[in-house]
Amino acid sequence: MMLSMSLETLLAFTLAMFLLAASPGPGFLMVVARALTGGFAAGLAAIAGLVLGDIVFLLLAILGLSALAAVMGEFFLAVKILGAVYLVWLGVKTWRSRPSLPEMETPEAPKAEVPHHRSAAIGFFVTLGNPKAILFYGALLPTFVDVAALTAPDVVALSAVVILVLFSVLSVYAFLAARAGRMLKSPRALTWLNRVTGGLLIGAGVAVATR
């Protein structure tokens, strides 16, 4: 089967996704925070969760389930609040933590305190509670494509764009944050790293709660 969308439409959607991914937000802050202390792999795990959440919203919009999303408004609100509280709690915990002697002596990045699957889960719920993602897929997507006329290849193409763009953009931030985390070796530097990371997580939680 052939795409029903034009190449211009697909390119316009790709550009919009790039702008969405590159703009700072709760997801961006969370990815950077996880990569700073957990390394590049932790950042990638967080990105995977964010991408999964975006795919959920994309499919909801394509399947015309806006009414279902409205009914589930209280569920999304609960997810938003719980996600925000968890991010703030994790941020405070990271801020107050002190690097141990093994962490200060190892030439590698500090070991992640949060398992990668939990980083992915955090990313997923951050996206579910992010009004920017809801607005993009619920209101802006229909301005690019006629969702009612999309074929299966169209859905695959749009999903591929979401996955490739989000991973491409956010993985750069994760890589740079991970490198910055590895460069900090002294006790004082690692203490400030924890504070910066904690501040980013708290900021992400506040952003999720207030948007």
Instruction: Identify whether 104 is part of a domain.
Output: no
| Dihedral sign from CA coordinates of 201, 140, 45, 177 | negative
- In 3-state terms the chain splits into helix, strand, coil percentages (rounded to 5) of 80, 0, 20
Instruction: Identify whether 11 is part of a domain.
Output: no
pLDDT at res. 3: 74
The SS3 of residue 146 is: coil
Instruction: Identify whether 18 is part of a domain.
Output: no
Q: Tokens for 181, please give them.
A: 């985390």
Instruction: Identify whether 14 is part of a domain.
Output: no
Q: Does residue 140 have a pLDDT over 80?
A: no
pTM of the model: 0.71
- Contact, 128 vs 56, CB < 8 A? yes
Furthest C-alpha separation in the chain: 60
Instruction: Identify whether 196 is part of a domain.
Output: yes
CA–CA gap between residue 91 and residue 32 (Å, rounded): 13
Residue type, 104: M
Instruction: Identify whether 15 is part of a domain.
Output: no
Say how many domains are in the chain.
1
Q: What are the backbone angles phi and psi of residue 91, rounded to the nearest 5°?
A: -65, -45
Span 86-139, pLDDT tens digits = 667 766 776 666 654 344 344 444 444 567 888 898 888 888 777 777 778 877
Query: What is the pLDDT averaged over residues 11-16?
Result: 88
Instruction: Identify whether 91 is part of a domain.
Output: yes
Helix axes 7-22, 152-183, angle to 10 degrees: 30
Span 22-37, pLDDT tens digits = 877 778 888 888 888 7
Task: Give the chain's radius of gyration (CA, Å).
Answer: 18
Instruction: Identify whether 175 is part of a domain.
Output: yes
pLDDT > 90 in the chain, percent: 14
pLDDT > 70 in the chain, percent: 65
Domain that residue 79 falls in: 25-99+115-210
Name the one residue in this structure whose structure tokens are 């992640």.
112
| Residue 186 confidence class, pLDDT cut points 50, 70, 90 | low
- Contact, 137 vs 56, CB < 8 A? no
Task: Give the CA count within 13 Å in the CB-facing half-sphere of 50.
Answer: 30
pLDDT at res. 127: 84
Residue type, 43: G
